[in-house]
């Protein structure tokens, strides 16, 4: 019954690492300004189609010249099987793009890149009230998902303390989501609809890994009732570690492929999905074993100690 894994010790180190990541992310979001898509902050978005090879650096330089001091974000999209290629300019916040300014921008871009046949393909704006409504709906979706997670885990693992198992699993999920947020802040990635897709995906992956750990704890308790709670967790983590790592590495490899393609082709829209997804999956694999599990053990041990005192 000797186990080389000391889950509690690893948890303490992991919490320090998570704290460093969170503090760094908060500092970046404050001093480097968090980049929000217009769906969350309101603003304007214009898209320009082009032909041939038009470097993003050249296009961005011309946009800066045309818009002056106006802050904007630029992303590149390319259709499947040689479809239309576009550059999308987003101006977040209350700085709306006036008709005159848009006409000036369009004229200067078409004049500058005549060979690429630059054309205005889309133009729309989002009011701050609509953006606030979209943000609220997104938060409601996340909160509802978290509530369902607590209910599901609490019912499924009621034999090993359902409420404690559910809440510690939720703590691990929150840490995973905070990591993805901090990654966006540190890498200067835009918080957009892609990020919401990342959040909901990470919730599913991380929860699945945590359930695997709790399942093994339940089995270990059944076949080795003589071991202590901490020994049970160490044995369980050791038993599922290979499975969780292999599953996560396989998924991360696929996400890394997306990131490489995005970097090679300059598809910034894929970058905002791939990078936080990769870090979120990595965090989910780790937190399910060394945050949720050991934290649950601490909860149960403290509850047992309080009962003895009573």
- HEC string of the chain? CCCCCCHHHHHHHHHHHHHHHHHHHHHHHHHCCCCECHHHHCEEEEEEEECCCCCHHHHHHHHHHHHCCCCCEEEEEECCCCCCEEEEEEEECCCCCCHHHHHHHHHHHHHHCHHHCCEEEEEEEECHHHHHHHHHHHHHHHHHHHHHHHHHHHHHCHHHCHHHHHHHHHHHHHHHHHHHHHHHHHCCCCECHHHHHHHHHHHHHHHHHHHHHHHHHHHHHHHCCCCCHHHHHHHHHHHHHHHHHHHHHHHHHHHHHHHHHHHHHCCHHHHHHHHHHHHHHHHHHHHHHHHHHHHHHHHHHHHHHHHHHC
Q: Is 305 a residue whose pLDDT tops 70?
A: no
Per-residue model confidence as pLDDT tens digits over 159-194: 877 888 999 999 999 999 999 999 999 998 988 888
301: pLDDT confidence band, cut at 50, 70 and 90?
Answer: confident
Task: Tell me the pTM.
Answer: 0.83
| pLDDT score, position 82 | 53
Per-residue model confidence as pLDDT tens digits over 62-120: 999 998 878 888 888 775 445 678 998 988 766 567 778 889 999 999 999 999 999 99
């Amino acid at each position: 019954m000797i186990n080389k894994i000391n889950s509690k010790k690893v948890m303490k180190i992991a919490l320090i690492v998570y704290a460093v990541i969170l503090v760094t992310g908060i500092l970046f979001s404050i001093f480097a300004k968090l980049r929000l898509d217009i769906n969350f902050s309101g603003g304007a978005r214009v898209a320009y189609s082009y032909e041939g090879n038009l470097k993003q650096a050249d296009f961005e330089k011309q946009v800066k010249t045309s818009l002056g001091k106006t802050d904007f974000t630029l992303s590149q999209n390319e259709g499947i099987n040689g479809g239309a290629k576009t550059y999308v300019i987003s101006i977040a916040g209350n700085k709306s793009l006036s008709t005159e300014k848009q006409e000036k921008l369009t004229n200067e871009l078409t004049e500058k890149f005549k060979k690429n046949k630059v054309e205005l393909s889309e133009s729309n704006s989002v009011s701050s009230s609509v953006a606030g409504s979209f943000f609220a709906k997104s938060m409601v979706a996340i909160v509802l998902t978290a509530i369902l997670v607590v209910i599901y885990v609490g019912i499924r693992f009621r034999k090993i303390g359902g409420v404690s198992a559910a809440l510690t699993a939720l703590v691990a999920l929150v840490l995973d989501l905070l990591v993805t947020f901090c990654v966006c802040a540190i890498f200067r990635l835009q918080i957009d609809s892609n990020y919401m897709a990342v959040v909901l995906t990470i919730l599913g992956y991380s929860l699945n890994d945590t359930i695997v750990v709790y399942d093994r704890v339940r089995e270990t308790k059944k076949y080795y009732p003589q071991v202590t709670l901490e020994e049970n967790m160490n044995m369980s983590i050791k038993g599922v570690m290979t499975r969780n790592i292999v599953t996560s590495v396989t998924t991360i490899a696929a996400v890394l492929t997306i990131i490489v393609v995005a970097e090679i082709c300059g598809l910034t829209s894929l970058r905002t999905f791939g990078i936080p997804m990769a870090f979120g999956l990595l965090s989910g694999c780790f937190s399910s074993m060394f945050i949720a599990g050991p934290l649950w053990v601490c909860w149960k041990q403290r509850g047992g100690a309080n009962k003895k005192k009573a």
